[in-house]
Amino acid sequence: MKGEKILNDGLMNIFEAHGINRRDFLKYCAATAALFGLSEFEFSSKLAYALESGSKKPSVMWLEGLACAGCTISLTQSLHPPVSSIILDKISLRQHDTIMAAAGHMVEEIHDQTVKEGGYILIVEGAIPSADDRFCEIGGRPFRKIVEEAARKSKAVLAVGACGAFGGIPRATPSKGISVTESLKKAKIDKPVINISTCPVHTDHLVGTILYVLVTGNIPELDSNGRPAMYFGDSRLIHDNCRRRAHFDAGEFLNDWNDPRQKDWCLLQKGCKGPMSHSDCSIRRWNDGINFCIDCGGVCQACGEPSFYEHVTPLYTVESESSKKIMAMKKAGMFTKEES
Amino acid sequence: MAKKITIDPVTRIEGHLKIEVEIENGKVKNAWSSGTMARGFEALLTGKDPRDASYVTSRFCGVCYSVHQLASSRALDAAFGAKVPWGGNLIRNLVMGAEYIYDHPLHFYQLSALDYIDIMAIADYKGNDKDLLAVKDKIVSLVKAKDTYPLTPRYEPDEFTVKDPDIVISAVSHYLKALKMHAKARNMGAIWGGRTPHYQNIVVGGVTSFPDINQVARFRSMLDEQAKFISEIYIPDVLAFGTGPLWPLAQMGIGGGHHNYMSYGDFQLDKDGKKLLFPAGVMKGLNPADIKIDTVIPERITESVKYAWYKENKPVHPYNGEQIFNLDKKNAYSFVKAPRYEGTAMEVGPLARMIIAKNSDILALVEKGAKPGAVARHAARAIETKMVVDACYHWLDQLQTEMTKPGFKIHDTEHWDPPSSGMGAGFSEPPRGALGHWIRIRDKKIENYQAVVPSTWNASPRCDNGVRGQYEESLIGAPVPDPKNPVNVVRIIRSFDPCLACAIHVIDPQDNQIRKFIIE
Ligand code: SF4
Ligand code: SF4
């Protein structure tokens, strides 16, 4: 295999120490390369180069604001590649309060030093309070200021989860959480932000975007909401790839979770927002493809959209603004499937 | 002269926590615990469709989301008058069981181990185990590249730190292994929860995931792998550390605190919920020779806001609380409120649960001379993880049998629509301890929503009577010979597995009537 030659044994040993064998690794390269629109050869050589070129690993700073740590947990759930190989081999994780050994003043020192050096990837989990800075302070400093200062000197900013990308649930609370983009705009900081929404961020979306930026040195193509087009974007409608879709078209809607006959029926009447929700969940699924919201009989709440949560509530009926739009679209025949 | 030091942020926890301690003669003399972030979830819920609550409150915490979904759904079950079918309860047990299985080992390896081992001792490993040598190479190459983030910097190793290269290197290899097991255990919950974090399947009346036999088999085989890891690696590690290098800390009982313990009880073992895997109970003042456990009477819970950034008020029951932010309040130092049981600060969590359960392994440790405190908390976690694993097998068998019965049910469809009015309380025992959610419904909408979560109990500031919260009290007397290196302080705090985003969610009531609720 082409990729194999590029990977010397030293590198393979590292991967193997983390429990990825050669075959898994090459499989992973192939899949990721396809996703990035690179050849497998190009991808693995770039990755190998990025990993082996001298001692300097790209530095990454992860800050957490008005958040629940769900996106951090998504990071730790990465199995392919394992999170330990990302954290120890691929990046220099300068700051991540949930993971790092340091505490207290040492965190501040590392933070200041990293900001001084500049050129890092900044990842922000959680929203930024706009009602009052005191709703989120770290080390006695407003989170808003910490983000602004870190963004100025960063190479790229990743706003993760519904909260970081669009304000998410905190937007509807007294702390009035706003997105990273809005916050930087207010401070007149001109930095492109990659929004990787959903609540929480999807492990693959997060890891894939980090790797994309590291390997190509570029920002991936973004959709109109600033989200990586390879995971979101117009063509990635949950509804179009939902396995309950035939029942939607046939007008069969689940109303009793106990009825085995209805097990796969459309969840529209239970509040499903799949018809207005962009993400590849229904193809990629979650947690290594084990399942996703709709297949467990739960509903898609459009957690990757800017409208989440304020405009998708009430969640489990068709009374929300979002559901009303969907119903109107349905009535107008916008979901009629062409015969094939 | 006393010297005050501040640790902010306390890292390797969930959320934002600041700890201040006053040190005199090498020991902690006084301590303050502050939560420094607030969102205000309960305000958001006011006026919403009650069914939103289980979804929204799952976002209190991205580490232990199912427990909020569960407590919230139980509060809704009570308010809607829903009766969860046994099939639904079994699935609730299983997804929550998965939560224990990923959470406790994660806490031990990823969040705590670095406080007890000197990771740099790995360089002196002389053995020839291939896997361990790979770990050694890894660390040595990081050191050579002068880039050991995020493993350093760290507090300096002290007299209690494990420096034996053989022990350290195997601990680090287990650290890496545990990370992987963690991700796999999360996948277990996703089989019925749809995805993790933030399951989608627990709702009022039961669950949404109609199970099939393949899922049962899949869960079982994933459970087998976890069971092996837990009994062959996690438990032996905790025991080896606790009774070996950390035995002096265990005997000193650092981090003991008030020695008052409370558990609401959880994991239904029978259809009417009379039998629980973890029993409920409350106990004030530990006397290992004579453990007296009382029934928990939730009406006796009050919350004080004297030292928290909320509008001044007397201590009141959660149903009765007026919680309006006052960020300018003098003397306040935390967003966390101070819950008290009959005016007393309580410890909740694994140690409390195992003491209330009179667990023989924990009592044996105490008998051997370990005092309940930081080290005992790690032991209690390991013990109960094993109990949950064993119980999961039992629930799987039961589910498999139930599924084949005609009329098998997972949800109470009759009680899906919100009642025009109602109220209810829901309790559960997440990994971090006693959790209660309270809801009141009027005109089919949420009129008031309250939650008192485990970390609110443990991380609370002082109350009206000036009684310190459990974190604060547990720090008193802890040895800190070098104020620049307060490693014992973080050891103690992390032994509770703090979850601060959970602890601060708060807000807004409208009704000042005390209502009754029952715990069952
Ligand atoms: S409405 Fe939801 S459940 Fe129904 S087909 Fe569309 S995405 Fe699937
Ligand atoms: S299916 Fe919908 S609700 Fe679920 S993660 Fe994807 S976008 Fe979010």
Query: What is the structure's pLDDT at B55?
Result: 95
Whether B129 has its CB under 8 Å from any CB of chain A: the answer is no
- The answer to whether A18 contacts B151, with C-beta atoms less than 8 Å apart, is no
Whether B176 has its CB under 8 Å from any CB of chain A: the answer is yes
The model carries a pTM of 0.90
| Pure H helices in A129-233 | 143-152, 161-166, 180-186, 203-216
- The residue of A91, A128, A296, A319 whose CB has the most chain B CBs within 10 angstroms, and thus the best one to mutate to test that interface, is A296
Query: What is the structure's pLDDT at B442?
Result: 96
Instruction: List chain A residues with CB under 8 Å of B199.
Output: 296, 298
Could you tell me the two tokens for B322? 């007026």
Say if residue B150 is preceded by a cis peptide, omega within 30 of 0.
yes
Please tell me the least confidently modeled range out of A34-38, B204-208, B300-304, B382-386.
A34-38
Give the DSSP H/E element, type plus range, for residue A92. Answer: strand A92-96
Instruction: List chain B residues with CB under 8 Å of A313.
Output: 48-49, 52
Contacts of B488 (CB under 8 A, 6+ apart): B158, B160, B254, B478, B479, B480
Query: What is the structure's pLDDT at B14?
Result: 76
Contacts of B499 (CB under 8 A, 6+ apart): B13, B14, B15, B61, B63, B64, B432, B453, B454, B455
Whether B152 has its CB under 8 Å from any CB of chain A: the answer is yes
CA-B194 nearest atom, ligand 2: 4
- Whether the pLDDT of residue A182 is over 90: the answer is yes
Query: What is the structure's pLDDT at A7?
Result: 45
User: How far does residue B237's CA lie from ligand 1's centre (Å)?
Assistant: 47
- Whether the pLDDT of residue A5 is over 50: the answer is no
Average pLDDT of the residues of chain A: 87
Mean pLDDT to the nearest integer, A140-151? 95
User: CA of A136, closest CA in chain B: separation in Å?
Assistant: 4
pLDDT band at B66 (very low <50, low <70, confident <90, very high): confident
> Using one digit for the tens of pLDDT, what is the confidence trace for B433-488?
999 999 999 999 999 898 888 988 999 999 999 999 999 999 999 999 999 999 99
pLDDT band at B65 (very low <50, low <70, confident <90, very high): confident
Give the DSSP H/E element, type plus range, for residue A157. Answer: strand A156-160
User: CA of A35, closest CA in chain B: separation in Å?
Assistant: 22
Instruction: List chain A residues with CB under 8 Å of B61.
Output: 68-70
- Whether the pLDDT of residue A3 is over 60: the answer is no
pLDDT band at A6 (very low <50, low <70, confident <90, very high): very low
- The answer to whether B39 contacts A76, with C-beta atoms less than 8 Å apart, is no
- The answer to whether A55 contacts B410, with C-beta atoms less than 8 Å apart, is no
Instruction: List chain B residues with CB under 8 Å of A255.
Output: 413
Query: What is the structure's pLDDT at A42?
Result: 59
- Whether the pLDDT of residue B4 is over 80: the answer is yes
- The answer to whether A174 contacts B62, with C-beta atoms less than 8 Å apart, is no
Q: Rounded to the nearest 5°, which phi and psi values hold at B126?
A: -110, -5
pLDDT band at A134 (very low <50, low <70, confident <90, very high): confident
Residue B378 three-state SS: helix
User: How far does residue A332's CA lie from ligand 1's centre (Å)?
Assistant: 17
- The answer to whether A140 contacts B142, with C-beta atoms less than 8 Å apart, is no
The pocket around ligand 1, CB under 6 angstroms, is made up of: A 238-239, 242, 244-245, 248, 266-268, 272, 274-275, 294, 300
> Using one digit for the tens of pLDDT, what is the confidence trace for B77-129?
999 999 999 999 999 999 999 999 999 999 999 889 989 999 889 999 999 99
Is residue B64 within 8 A of residue B99, CB to CB? The reply is yes
> Using one digit for the tens of pLDDT, what is the confidence trace for B126-169?
999 998 999 899 888 888 888 888 888 888 899 999 999 999 99
Asked about A296 being catalytic, the answer comes back as no
pLDDT band at A2 (very low <50, low <70, confident <90, very high): very low
The pocket around ligand 2, CB under 6 angstroms, is made up of: A 198, 238, 277, 279, 281, 292-294, 300-304
- Whether the pLDDT of residue B271 is over 90: the answer is no
Query: What is the structure's pLDDT at A135?
Result: 84
- Whether the pLDDT of residue B520 is over 50: the answer is no
Residue among A29, A202, A266, A311 flagged as catalytic:
A266
> Using one digit for the tens of pLDDT, what is the confidence trace for A282-338?
999 999 999 999 999 999 999 999 999 999 999 999 999 999 999 999 999 888 765
- B residues 238-257 lying closer than 8 A (beta carbon) to A: none
CA torsion sign for B220, B221, B222, B228 is positive
User: How far does residue A299's CA lie from ligand 1's centre (Å)?
Assistant: 8
Whether B196 has its CB under 8 Å from any CB of chain A: the answer is yes
Mean pLDDT to the nearest integer, B165-189? 93
Instruction: Measure the CA dihedral B505/B510/B511/B517, to 10°.
Output: -20
Query: What is the structure's pLDDT at A235?
Result: 87
Instruction: List chain A residues with CB under 8 Å of B324.
Output: none
**Could you say which DSSP state residue B433 is in?**
-
Query: What is the structure's pLDDT at B499?
Result: 83
Query: What is the structure's pLDDT at A339?
Result: 47
CA distance A323 to A329: 10
Instruction: Name the residue at shortest CA distance from atom 6 of ligand 1.
Output: A239
> Using one digit for the tens of pLDDT, what is the confidence trace for B387-398?
999 999 999 999
Instruction: Name the residue at shortest CA distance from atom 5 of ligand 1.
Output: A245
CA-A253 nearest atom, ligand 1: 4
User: CA of A317, closest CA in chain B: separation in Å?
Assistant: 9
- Whether the pLDDT of residue B350 is over 80: the answer is yes
Instruction: Compute the 3-state secondary structure of chain B and give helix, strand, coil in percent, each to the nearest 5.
Output: 45, 15, 40
Instruction: List chain A residues with CB under 8 Å of B490.
Output: 103
Whether B187 has its CB under 8 Å from any CB of chain A: the answer is yes
Mean pLDDT to the nearest integer, B346-371? 95
The crossing angle, in degrees rounded to 10, of helices A105-117 and A143-152 is: 30
Nearest ligand, CA A240: 1
- The answer to whether B409 contacts A173, with C-beta atoms less than 8 Å apart, is no
- By CA distance, what is B499's nearest residue in A? A68
- B residues 344-383 lying closer than 8 A (beta carbon) to A: none
CA distance B467 to A298: 44
Query: What is the structure's pLDDT at A203?
Result: 96
Mean pLDDT to the nearest integer, A234-241? 93
Query: What is the structure's pLDDT at A45?
Result: 59
Neighbours of B312 (CB within 10 A): 11
Say if residue B393 is preceded by a cis peptide, omega within 30 of 0.
no
Instruction: List chain B residues with CB under 8 Å of A76.
Output: 106, 110, 179, 182-183
Instruction: Name the residue at shortest CA distance from atom 1 of ligand 1.
Output: A268
Asked about A68 being catalytic, the answer comes back as yes
- In single-letter form, the type of residue at position B236 comes to P
CA distance B380 to B497: 13
Residues of B annotated as catalytic (active site), given as ranges: 14, 61, 64, 68, 432, 455, 499, 502
CA distance B1 to B11: 28
Give the DSSP H/E element, type plus range, for residue B262. Answer: strand B260-263
CA-A267 nearest atom, ligand 1: 3
pLDDT band at B62 (very low <50, low <70, confident <90, very high): confident
> Using one digit for the tens of pLDDT, what is the confidence trace for B23-58?
999 999 999 998 876 767 777 899 999 999 999 999
- The residue of B21, B179, B214, B329 whose CB has the most chain A CBs within 10 angstroms, and thus the best one to mutate to test that interface, is B179
- Whether the pLDDT of residue A51 is over 60: the answer is no
